[in-house]
Amino acid sequence: MHVVVGSRERGVQRVPGVGAEFKWKQGLAGFGDRRRPTFGYARRVRVFEGGDRNWVGEEIEMKVQGVEEFVSVHGVLLASAGVPPSLHEKLFHKLSADVFDGGRLFQIEPCEGGRQRRLVLASDGGLRKHEDVFLVDHAWSFRLSQARSQLEQVPGLVERMAALMCVGDEVEGEGSVEEDDVEEGEQDGTPKEQADVEAMISAAVAAADERGEKLQWLELDELDINDEELRRLNLAVKCPDLVGLSLWGNPLESVDAVMDTVAGLSNLRALWLNQTPVALNKDDELREAFGKMLPHLEIYNSMLTDKYGLWAIGFCAGIFGALQPGLPFTEDHVLKDITSLDLSERDLQTLSPHVFNPEELPNLTSLNLQGNPLAGESAESLLATVQTLKTLTSFQVDITRRLGSAASIAEALPFVTELNGHPRDKFVGGGDEELNSNRRPRLPQFSKEDPLIDRVMSAMWQYILTYRLADEEKLDETPIWYVMDELGSSIRHSDAPNFQIAPFMYLPDGTLQSAISYSLLWPVQDVVSGEECTRDYLFGIGEDQQRSSRLAAWFDISSEIFNQAYEAHMSELKQPVVSKAIVCNDSSTSSILPPDGRPLSVYTDIPGMSDFLTRPEFKLVEEASEADIVWTHMQVDDEFRKEAGLKPHQYVNQFPSESCIVMKHNLAETMQKAYGTPAWLQPTYNMERQLAALLGDYLQREEQNQNNLWIVKPWNMARTIDTSIVGSLPALARLVETGPKIGQKYIEQPALYKGRKFDLRYIVLLRSLEPLEIFVCDVFWGRFSNNQYTTETNSLSEYETHFTVMNYGRTMNHLDTHTWVPEFEKEHNVDWKDIHKRVKDVLREVFQGAAAVHPEMKSSTSRAIYGVDIMLDASFQPKLLEVTYCPDCARACKYDVRNVLGDGELMKGSEFYNNIFSCLFLNELKNISPL
C-alpha cells in the first residue's frame, strides 16, 4: 500500500495516555498498559500525559476542527483504507482524542498450545456490521535493513516482540521449557529424587488386578529412563498384555534395548517413542524391526502404520485410549457412533475399505485426510472408497495432481456439500483449483538456545505489514514494515472474515508533516459475543495475484502444489532457443563520419561526459534535434522523440526492446528462453507470477539439506535498493507485497578477495544486432564489500558485508585493477586471463541470447553501452548479476589503469569516452576488444 505522509523522525517513541484494559486468559499479560512505547519510525513527536492532551513534548496546533474538515483533508486516505462513510464521524472523534477503547470489547486468548493468540469479541451485546471503528497502534515500525539493529539497541523492544509473536521464553517451542516442565524439588535449587518407575508399574498392575483386568496401558513419559533402566524394567514379563506403551521423551539411544523391551508385547497396538534419541537417529531401523516383530502395531509415534485398522481409527476418534484400551472389542461395529473423524497428518498411505465402509462407519459425516501422503493407492481407488460413505457431507483432503482437480473430486462425491471448508458448488464445473480453507497454521519453530532476536527475526514475517511513504515529490525507494500492537497482532486469518483492518495516516493539523500512523479495525459482518474476530491477510488479492502461494507465509500448504509448479518450470527450461553459437562480428559496420569531413554532432545529458569526449571528430551541441548522435539517460520512446524533435536518421544510445535485458525479470526470462539453465545464471524467478515455482525450489532444497539463502531484488532498481537476503519461506512469500521483484538463489560461496566479497563491472558495447557486433572494454573494475564475508544469520542485513556498491553514501575503498588482480591471482593460485576468457564467453552469450529471443531489438540507428555485473563463485565460475542501461562511467574516466589482460599498457581514464565513441561510430578499436 502507498500512503502519503510527511517527514520522518527515526526512533521516536509514542506514549499515549489513554489506557485500554484488556481481558487476558492464562496469565498473558502486559497489553493493558498503554504506556508501553511505540518503536521505530513516527511522523511526529507526540509525548503527553493523561487523556486530556496535556503535551509534554512539541505542541501541535490543531487545525482539523470538525468532521467535514476531517473528511475533506483525509478523503483520499479514507477511500484508500476502505472506511465506510458511516464511520467517519466516530473515527474523527477517536483520532482527535487518541481513544483506544478496544479493551472494553475484545479479549485476547492463547491458542495452538500457546504458540498463537486469537482475538475474541467479549461484549455481551455483540457488534453489528459497520457499527464501530477501533484504533490499533503500531508497536514497531522499521525498514528491513534496520530491523535487527533496532531489536539490539532499543530497550525492551525484543522482549515485547517476542511475547507478541509467541516466541518468548515463556512459550513452548521445539525444545523450550515451560513453567510446568520445572519439576518439584528443582524450584528451591534441590534436584528431585529419581522417580521410582518400578513402583509406579507395580501399582498400576495391582490396580488392574483389583478390577479383575490385565494392565493394557502404560505411559512412562519423560522419566529419564535410559537404556539400562529400560531393560531392567522387564516390561514384557510384568505387563505382557499391553496395548499401548508410551516412552515419550526419555533418553533412550539403543535400538537393541527398545527391541528387547517390546519383543514380548505381542498385543501392542500403539507405541510412542517421540522425542527420544533412538527414534530421531534410527527411525528407519526401528520401523523395519517393528514391522517384523509387532504383528498388530497400528500406531507408531503418533502415525498410522500400514497395519492400521478399526482400533487405530477408534483411538484417533477418542474412543480408545488409557481409560478404555479397547481390546478385546466388546461388540461389533465399534465405530458406529463416530460422526467426525480427523486423521490429518497421520502419515496415512492408504484408505482401507475394510475400515472405511458404511458398515463400520454408518454415521460418519465429516472426514479430514489433509496432510497425508495417500501414496499407497490410486486416486480412483481412494475416491471409490470415499464414495461408499454416503453419509459424508464434509470432506477435507490435499488437492494434488495425482488426486485430480478440486472440480473432479467434487463431481465424484455428489453427496459431499462442503469440500475443504468451501461449498461443493464452488468447484463443480471447473471452479477454483486451490483450496486453502482449514489450513494448518505455520507455527513458530525455535529452540530455547536460540537468541531472542533470532526468534523474532524469524517469526516476524507472520506479523509484519507494510506500506510505502511518499511526499509531494516522490515515492520512497524502500518500504516501511510495521507490527500492530497486541490487539491487532492477535487477529487471525479467515477467507470469510468478520472484520477488516487497514493502515491509516492521521494528519492532526492538516499537513503532511504531522502525519501519524495507525491501523483501523471495524466489523464487516455481524459478530456475536464469544466469536473469534478474523481478518483476511490478503484482502482483495485473488488467485490472479498468487493468493494460494502467498498464504504459505502463514499456513503449511501442501508442498505438492509447489513441487508441481517447480517441476513445470524446470520442464519449460529444457527447450532452449539457442542450440548453437551465433556468429559475432562477422562483418564490421562502417564509420558514419560524413564524407565531407565535418564532425559528428553529439547531444548528451550525461554528467561529465562533455569534459571527456574530446576527439575532433565529435562536436557537442545543445539541442537533441540538431545532433547526429543523441546520448541520453532518458528513455528514448515516442514521447521523448516527439518532445526532443528527433528524426528517424538520428543515432540514439538505446536499442528497441532493450528492457528484455536491462530489467532483472526480463533478463532472467530472456536467458532462460535462450539457454535453459546455463551455469552462469543462478536459479531466478519472477515473483509476480512464479512464486509457487520459487517456493517449490525452496522446499526441495530444504528437503535435501542444501543451502537455501535467496536474494530478492526489485525488477528495475539500481544500487541494491530494496534488496533483501532471506532464508525462510514466509519471508519469500511476504516480500511480494513490496512491489515487483525477482527471487534469485544467493551465491553463498563466492570467490573472495582477502576475505571480502566482490563483483566485477564490465562495459559492453553493442554496435549492431544484425550482424551481431559486440565488444568489451579492456577497462573493468572490481567493487568490494567493506566487511569480511560471512553467512551468519545476524549478518544478512549488513549492507557492507553482502553488497559491493559503496560509491553512494558509503565509504568506498578504491583499488586499482592492476593492483588487486595480481594479488588475487597469488591468493588463489589462478591466472586472471583464464577467468577473463570465461567472463567474455558469458558476456557474448548474454547478447547472443538477447538477439535470438528478441530479434525486434535490431536497429540500424542504435548504438549502446551496457554495464554488466559479474560475480565469481568459489570455483571461479562467472555468474551474471545484471545488465544496466547507460551505466555510471565516472570511475572509468577518473582513474588510469594498466591493462592486466595485455602488456600492461596504461589506459588513460580521460580517453574512455573517446575510445567508446570511436568504436561505436568510427569503427576503431583502442582498449576495446571484440567479443
Under the banding of pLDDT at 50, 70 and 90, the label for residue 468 is: confident
Q: Using DSSP bridges, classify how beta strands 2-4 and 464-470 pair: parallel, antiparallel or unpaired.
A: parallel
Sign for the CA dihedral angle at 809, 812, 816, 817 comes to negative
pLDDT, position 717 = 74
R_g of the chain, CA atoms, integer Å? 34
Residues 375 and 373: their CA atoms lie apart, in Å, by 5
CA within 13 Å, CB half, 230: 28
Contact of 237 with 268, CB cutoff 8 Å:
no
Contact of 628 with 929, CB cutoff 8 Å:
no
Across the beta sheet with 106-111, what order do the strands follow? 23-24, 106-111, 116-121, 532-535, 492-493
pLDDT, position 40 = 45
pLDDT, position 405 = 79
Residue 413 has pLDDT above 80, yes or no: yes
Residues 6+ apart with CB under 8 A from 650: 627, 628, 629, 630, 861
pLDDT, position 583 = 62
pLDDT, position 608 = 85
Phi-psi region of 595 (alpha: psi -120 to 50; beta: other; left: phi over 0): alpha
pLDDT, position 75 = 92
Contact of 573 with 599, CB cutoff 8 Å:
no
pLDDT, position 901 = 87
Contact of 649 with 707, CB cutoff 8 Å:
no
Q: Closest Cα to residue 919, out of 906, 911, 910, 928?
A: 928
Under the banding of pLDDT at 50, 70 and 90, the label for residue 920 is: very high
Q: Closest Cα to residue 628, out of 610, 653, 603, 665?
A: 603
Mean pLDDT of 390-395: 94
pLDDT, position 721 = 79
Residue 621 has pLDDT above 70, yes or no: yes
Residues 516 and 482: their CA atoms lie apart, in Å, by 13
Partners of 763 in the beta sheet? 867
Reported as type and span, the H/E element at residue 517 is strand 516-523
pLDDT, position 444 = 87
Q: Cis ω on the peptide bond leading into residue 328 (within 30° of 0)? A: yes
Residues 27 and 21: their CA atoms lie apart, in Å, by 15
Q: Report the percent of the chain where pLDDT is more than 90.
A: 66
Grid cell locating 690: 512464479
Contact of 552 with 732, CB cutoff 8 Å:
no
Grid cell locating 122: 467479549
Tell me the backbone φ, ψ of residue 181, rounded to 5 degrees: -80, -15
Q: Closest Cα to residue 668, out of 679, 657, 684, 656?
A: 684
Residues 6+ apart with CB under 8 A from 810: 786, 799, 800
Contact of 3 with 468, CB cutoff 8 Å:
yes
Query: Looking at this protein, which amino acid is placed at residue 539?
Result: F
Strands (E), 785-927: 864-872, 878-885, 897-898, 906-907
- Around Cβ 423, how many Cβ atoms within 10 Å? 12
DSSP string, 530-581: TPEEEE-TTTT--GGGTHHHHGGGTEE--HHHHHHHHHHHHHHTTS-S--SP
pLDDT, position 927 = 95
- Around Cβ 851, how many Cβ atoms within 10 Å? 22
- Judged by DSSP in three states, 250 sits in coil
Residues 6+ apart with CB under 8 A from 364: 338, 339, 340, 341, 389, 391, 392
- Judged by DSSP in three states, 344 sits in coil
Q: Which residue has the cell 527411525?
A: 283
Under the banding of pLDDT at 50, 70 and 90, the label for residue 23 is: very low
Under the banding of pLDDT at 50, 70 and 90, the label for residue 193 is: very low
Contact of 679 with 902, CB cutoff 8 Å:
no
Classify residue 583 by burial, with Cβ atoms within 10 Å: 0-12, 13-18, 19+.
Answer: exposed
pLDDT tens-digit readout, 92-112: 999 999 999 998 999 999 988
Q: Closest Cα to residue 467, out of 518, 397, 530?
A: 518
Q: Using DSSP bridges, classify how beta strands 492-493 and 928-930 pair: parallel, antiparallel or unpaired.
A: unpaired
pLDDT, position 582 = 62
Partners of 769 in the beta sheet? 772
pLDDT, position 331 = 64
Residue 50 has pLDDT above 80, yes or no: no
Partners of 873 in the beta sheet? 750
**Which of 305-314, 418-427, 444-453 is most confident?**
305-314
Which of 188-197, 536-545, 905-914 shows the lowest per-residue confidence on average (mean pLDDT)? 188-197
CA within 13 Å, CB half, 514: 16
Residue 7 has pLDDT above 60, yes or no: no
Contact of 185 with 192, CB cutoff 8 Å:
yes
Grid cell locating 154: 532499543
Contact of 160 with 453, CB cutoff 8 Å:
no
Grid cell locating 58: 512539541
Sign for the CA dihedral angle at 308, 311, 316, 322 comes to negative
Mean pLDDT of 160-172: 88
pLDDT, position 437 = 47
Per-chain mean pLDDT for the chain: 85
pLDDT tens-digit readout, 692-705: 999 999 999 999 99
Residues 6+ apart with CB under 8 A from 271: 244, 245, 246, 247, 262, 290, 294, 297, 299, 300, 301
- Judged by DSSP in three states, 619 sits in strand
Residues 6+ apart with CB under 8 A from 262: 235, 236, 245, 268, 271, 290, 293, 294
pLDDT, position 17 = 26
Contact of 566 with 549, CB cutoff 8 Å:
no
